Structure 1
Amino acid sequence: MRLAIQLIVMIFLSLFFTMNTSANSPEEIEVSNGEIVKVFFEQRAKGYRYEVEFENGHRYFYEQSEDAGYGGGTYELTGEEMMLAREAIDKYEEINGDATIPSNNASKYLLGIVLFLIGLLGAIFPHATWYLEIGWKLRDAEPSEFALIANRVGGILVAIVGIFVFL
């Protein structure tokens, strides 16, 4: 029983750290003049930021935060490069989707996984669930049959909710 709880905690932690440490790598996009530029995208709490790097080292950025959006770049950036950078951002969005649509997928998936694992724990190990809930407060006590059934049914329901949240 203790091994099962440790296994579930380890799976949960590995999923959490995997989700939070994954980063978007730059994507290379060919613009209309034949040059290949690197487009970096960063999702932020209340917006997003694009950065386009040209082969000559010049950079352009566009940042959107709530209602305000602004762009700029390095001192050497030309007007033509700004237009090419906007073109690269448009192509990036065609490939990867529109950044203006807010995405809470990571937190949604995490919540779904957590609910599913908690529900699975209750469904498979109702005695352990009872112990974690109230049994640790009592000495030499055993759960009633009704408590075990309630924990199992509740665990199944929470696991189902977790599946629907994940989807």
Structure 2
Amino acid sequence: MFENMTEFLSSGENIAFFFCALLAIGGAIFMISFTKVVHMVLALALTFISMAGLYIVLEAEFVAVVQILIYAGAISILMIFGIMMTKHTKEEEEEPKRPWHQVLLFIGAAGLFGVIFYAIQQSEIPSGQFPQVADNTLEIGKLLFSAHVIPFELMSVLLTVAFIGAIVVAKREED
């Protein structure tokens, strides 16, 4: 596929993909490695934002904006509010130090990366031409409000009922 690394790094699109992919993988690794929940949520938000960057590289701007608004914004804020609203009376227990755990984790992650990188380099990816759409958002809107209008409206009714139910439950707990 690429004869050498300079050919790979000659394209800005490849550099942006590589950077966003590293951020996504790094955020995911940090998310499972951190011990404090707020740090985990921030690492998850980094992963969500870098995924939006990958969508931009793939020329799916609408999906990237939705990714940032819903996942990086709303879901991350919701998780932080949930953490802040819950009571944490139990003191955190210190885990015993395991120095070999981190070393083995790094070796395993590097080995997995090497296997996946080798498999991708050796695979034959057929090149195909897909019709280029002038405006992705316009096409998604046309499909959403023509062919998929019933599921769209049902989802809005479901979200409204869930919102009203949350208000009723919150009122009951308050009383």
Same structural fold, with TM-score higher than 0.5 when normalized by the shorter chain: no
Larger radius of gyration: 1
Instruction: Point out the structure with the larger helix share.
Output: 2
Instruction: Point out the structure with the larger strand share.
Output: 1
